[in-house]
């Protein structure tokens, strides 16, 4: 028995352990009161019943979820993710340029081999589904938007996994796959692209569409070939375009931009570092993949954890000493 359990009956101690699973702010506001209600209903028992334990565990999950996406800080988070749910799919459509370019090449070459067409058209469902997810999301059909976003993400993972030679090596795919996953999560847990458009306005959406068009032209046409330091130019266009589209004057906008940019930039940086180190140490391909997928996830999770810590303060005012129990 530790110091904090001293002076409590066995059932109180068991309830306190279950209540410790609730967020600190919730314990500060309702912990003592909940313990009173639980003890009122205990009726001489020495331990919580199974149904009561499950109910408290599920309640802790619900409250943690509500605190993550509830209240005024939660509104900020929902708005941040609504912006991501609108803008990330627009950037993802840059990937469609490769399919368009491939189809154009086959038409020009008058190549009719089904295998070639199959290879070029394999990722068309990905971009079509993302475009559809964006359009139906803007028109407020949230469930359809969520379903299409995950369908597109699953299709992208399948295409890059089964045909990595033709459909992007890991250093190209990792950023897009992660951006697709982030976008699908944002579409799912936020009010969706419609809310994103309300927050950002049509002009910001047009800025990002313009950015996507420029990036597409730089990466898939001859334009990029003649530019010095084209990768740096692409990076500058990407960062400026996303920052301009995200309304950096707002808190939600400042948070949305890193979520959108991290997968694409972190993968490039991790890949460059990997190549530098690989000159001295031979890394296996799985290590390469883990690094490229892991780096952006670690950075994004770290960023989210920092924001959560920055945002966190109990509300309403705690009763002295209760939250620390």
Partner 1 sequence: MREPTFLVLTALAAQAQHGYGVLRDVAAISDGQVTLRAGTLYAALDRLCAEGWVEVDREEVVESRLRRYYRLTETGAARLTAEVRRRQRHTSAAEQRLQLRGEGGLA
Q: Provide the CA 26 distance to its chain's centre, in angstroms.
A: 26
Q: Cis check for the bond before 316: say yes or no (omega within 30 of 0).
A: yes
Near partner 1 by CB under 8 A: residue from 5, 11, 24, 52: 52
Number of residues that bind partner 1 (CB under 8 A): 26
Please tell me the total number of residues recorded for the chain in this structure.
325
Near partner 1 by CB under 8 A: residue from 4, 10, 17, 41: 41
- Binding mask 261-300 toward partner 1 (x if CB under 8 A, else -) reads ----------------------------------------
Near partner 1 by CB under 8 A: residue from 20, 47, 58, 223: 58
Q: Is 9 in the site for partner 1 (CB under 8 A)?
A: no
Q: Is 20 in the site for partner 1 (CB under 8 A)?
A: no
Q: Is 312 in the site for partner 1 (CB under 8 A)?
A: no
Near partner 1 by CB under 8 A: residue from 24, 30, 101, 251: 30
Q: Is 154 exposed, middle or buried (0-12, 13-18, 19+ CB in 10 A)?
A: middle
Nearer to partner 1, 71 or 119 (CB): 71
Near partner 1 by CB under 8 A: residue from 5, 32, 76, 163: 32
**Both tokens assigned to 4:** 């904090």
Near partner 1 by CB under 8 A: residue from 26, 78, 142, 167: 26
Near partner 1 by CB under 8 A: residue from 1, 6, 51, 281: 51
Asked whether the beta carbons of 299 and 266 are under 8 A apart, the reply is: yes
Nearer to partner 1, 66 or 221 (CB): 66
Q: How far is the CB of 314 from partner 1 (least distance, A)?
A: 13
Closest CA relative to residue 175, chosen from 95, 100, 82, 255: 95
* Residue-wise DSSP of 217-248: HHHHSTTGGGSTTHHHHHHHHHHHHHHHHT-T
Residues 6+ apart with CB under 8 A from 275: none
In whole angstroms, how far apart are CA 20 and each of 34, 49, 60, 224? 12, 17, 9, 57
Q: How far is the CB of 45 from partner 1 (least distance, A)?
A: 14
Q: Is 55 in the site for partner 1 (CB under 8 A)?
A: yes
User: What distance in Å separates the CA atoms of residue 178 and residue 307, rounded to the nearest whole number?
Assistant: 20
Residues in contact with partner 1 by CB under 8 A are 26, 30, 32-41, 51-52, 55-60, 62-63, 66, 70-71, 319
């Amino acid at each position: 028995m530790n110091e904090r359990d001293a002076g409590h009956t066995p059932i109180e101690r068991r309830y306190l352990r279950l209540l410790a699973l609730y967020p600190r702010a919730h314990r500060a506001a309702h912990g003592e009161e909940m313990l009173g209600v639980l003890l009122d209903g205990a009726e001489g028992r020495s331990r919580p019943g199974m149904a009561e334990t499950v109910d408290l565990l599920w309640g802790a999950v619900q409250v943690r979820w509500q605190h993550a996406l509830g209240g005024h800080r939660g509104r900020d988070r929902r708005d941040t993710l609504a912006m991501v749910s609108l803008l990330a799919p627009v950037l993802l459509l840059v990937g469609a340029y490769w399919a368009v370019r491939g189809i154009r090449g086959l038409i020009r070459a008058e190549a009719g081999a089904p295998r070639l067409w199959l290879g070029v058209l394999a990722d068309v469902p990905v971009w079509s589904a993302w475009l559809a997810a964006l359009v139906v999301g803007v028109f407020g059909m949230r469930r359809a938007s969520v379903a299409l976003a995950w369908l597109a993400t699953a299709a992208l993972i399948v295409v890059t996994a089964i045909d990595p030679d033709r459909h992007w090596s890991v250093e190209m795919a990792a950023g897009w796959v992660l951006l697709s996953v982030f976008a699908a999560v944002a579409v799912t847990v936020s009010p969706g692209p419609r809310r994103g458009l309300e927050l950002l306005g049509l002009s910001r959406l047009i800025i990002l569409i313009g950015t996507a068009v420029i990036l597409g032209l730089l990466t898939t046409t001859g334009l990029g070939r003649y530019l010095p330091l084209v990768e740096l130019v692409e990076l500058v266009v990407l960062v400026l375009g996303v920052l301009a589209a995200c309304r950096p004057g707002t808190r939600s906008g400042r948070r949305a931009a890193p979520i959108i940019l991290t997968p694409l930039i972190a993968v490039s940086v991790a890949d460059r570092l990997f190549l530098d180190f690989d000159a001295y140490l031979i890394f296996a391909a799985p290590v390469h993949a883990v690094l490229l997928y892991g780096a952006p996830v670690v950075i994004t999770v770290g960023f989210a954890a920092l924001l959560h810590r920055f945002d966190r303060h109990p509300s309403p005012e705690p009763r002295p000493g209760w939250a620390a129990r």
